[in-house]
Amino acid sequence: MRVLVTGGAGFLGSHLCDALLARGDSVVCADDLSTGRLSNVDHLLADTRFTFVRTDVSRTIPVDGRVDAVAHLASPASPPDYHRRPLETMAVGSSGTENALRIAHADGARFLLASTSEVYGDPLVHPQEESYWGNVNPIGPRSIYDEAKRYAEALTAAYRRTHGVDTGIVRIFNTYGPRMRPHDGRVVTSFIAQALNGDPLTVYGDGSQTRSFCYVDDLVRGLVAMLDSDAAGPINIGNPSERTVAELAELVLAITGSTSRVEHHPLPQDDPARRRPVVERARALLGWEPRVPTEDGLRRTVDYFRAHRDEVVAARGAIAGGQLDGATAATAAVPA
Ligand code: UDP
C-alpha cells in the first residue's frame, strides 16, 4: 500500500510511519512541524519508500501520484499546544480533514480519522462506549480541540454517506511513549521530566481525576488494524487500565526512584473528571486489545527520557508552574 500520513512527524504519526514501512508499505508523510519534529522521522529520510512533505494540511496537501490509504492524524493534541494554537487546531480539524478526505475520495482510498476520547468531553457515562454522545462545553477552553474533532467525525461520516468514501474513525484515548516532547505539558511527560529533574510533580486539583493510559505500540497496532479493515467505527482505541492522576504521580516516582515531592496546582476548567474506554468493539471488529501494562510502558518511556537528558533538562522552564494560563485555569480550591 501507499499511505499518506498527515501529522506523520508527530508522536503517534511517526510511530505509524515506522509500522507501515516495517511491513513493506510506502509512506508519504505530511507535516508542518508545528508540534511534530523532523527528528522523529530522521531515520526514515534515506528510505526510498518514504517521502516527507512539509505542508500545513489545512491549506494544501501536495501529494504526487495516488495513494491507497490516508491516515489523518495532523493536529495539535496536548492541551497546552491547542491552547497556544486555537485557530490552527480548528482549521486542521475542519479544512485539514476535508483536504485529506478529498484525496481519499479522488483516489478511492481508505480514510482513517484519528479522533479522540475528547469527543466524550467531561463524560456523564463511565466507562465510555462508542454509543455515548458526550458532554462537551461548546464554548469552553477545551472546545477548540473537542469540537474540531467532533466536526471532523461529522465530516468523515458525511463523506461516507454522500460520496461513498471508505472511512474509519478511531477515538484515541490518552497515549504515551517514546518521542513525546518532554515539554508538551501532558501529564505523563510532565511527571517524568519533573521526576528526572528533581522538580516537584505538578498535580492539578486534588489528583482524583482519572485517565487510562495506552502505550504507543499498542495504539499503533490498533491504527494499522483499522486501516486494514473496512469498519466505519467509531472505535475506541485505548487501554482500560484506569488510574487517578495522584496514582500516576506515585507510579512515576517509584519507577524513576525520584525524591521529588508532589505540588498541587489549580484544576483547569472543564478538565474531564474520569475517562476509561470500553474496548469491546475494537476486540470484536479488529481483534485488537492492549498488551503493554502501564508499568512496563512507563519504564520504556522513562528510558527514552533518560536517553534524551538534554531535552528533559531544557524542558524545565516550559513545564515549571503549569502550562495553562489564567484564562484556562479554573479557580477550583487547591488542596493544602
Ligand atoms: N495534569 C496534571 N498535571 C500536569 C498535567 C496534567 O495533574 O502537569 C492532569 C490534567 O489536569 C488532567 C490529566 O492530568 O486531569 C491528563 O492531562 P493531559 O494534559 O495529559 O491529557 P488530557 O487532559 O487531554 O486527557
**pLDDT tens-digit profile of 58-75?**
999 999 999 999 999 999
**pLDDT tens-digit profile of 259-285?**
999 999 999 999 999 999 999 999 999
User: Which residue CA neighbors atom 6 of ligand 1 most closely?
Assistant: 187
pLDDT on residue 317: 76
Whether the per-residue pLDDT at 332 is higher than 90: the answer is: no
User: pLDDT grade, residue 177 (50/70/90)?
Assistant: very high
What is the whole-number distance in angstroms between the Cα of residue 310 and the centre of ligand 1? 24
pLDDT on residue 220: 98
Q: Return the active site residues.
A: 145
Give the rounded percent of residues in the chain with a pLDDT score beyond 90: 94
What is the whole-number distance in angstroms between the Cα of residue 133 and the centre of ligand 1? 22
Give me the mean pLDDT over the 158-177 stretch.
98
Pocket test for ligand 1, best of 143, 202, 212, 245 (most atoms within 8 A of CB): 245
Which residues, at least 6 apart from 270, have a Cβ–Cβ distance to it below 8 Å?
121, 122, 137, 140, 141, 142, 330
**Homologous superfamily of 180-212+241-275+293-319:** UDP-galactose 4-epimerase, domain 1 (3.90.25.10)
pLDDT on residue 318: 77
- β strands within 33-101, DSSP E: 50-54, 69-72
What architecture does CATH give domain 2-174+213-237?
A: 3-Layer(aba) Sandwich (3.40)
Per-residue cell: 305: 527520557
* Domain definitions of the chain by residue range: 2-174+213-237, 180-212+241-275+293-319
Whether the per-residue pLDDT at 326 is higher than 90: the answer is: no
Per the CB < 8 A criterion, the answer to whether 159 and 101 are in contact is yes
**pLDDT tens-digit profile of 115-136?**
999 999 999 999 999 999 999 9
Q: Is the CB of 190 under 6 A from ligand 1?
A: yes
**pLDDT tens-digit profile of 204-246?**
999 999 999 999 999 999 999 999 999 999 999 999 999 999 9
- β strands within 85-174, DSSP E: 110-116, 167-172
User: pLDDT grade, residue 330 (50/70/90)?
Assistant: very low
Of residues 121, 116, 117, 40, the one with CA closest to residue 75 = 116
Give me the mean pLDDT over the 181-204 stretch.
97
Q: Is the CB of 209 under 6 A from ligand 1?
A: yes
What is the whole-number distance in angstroms between the Cα of residue 232 and the centre of ligand 1? 30
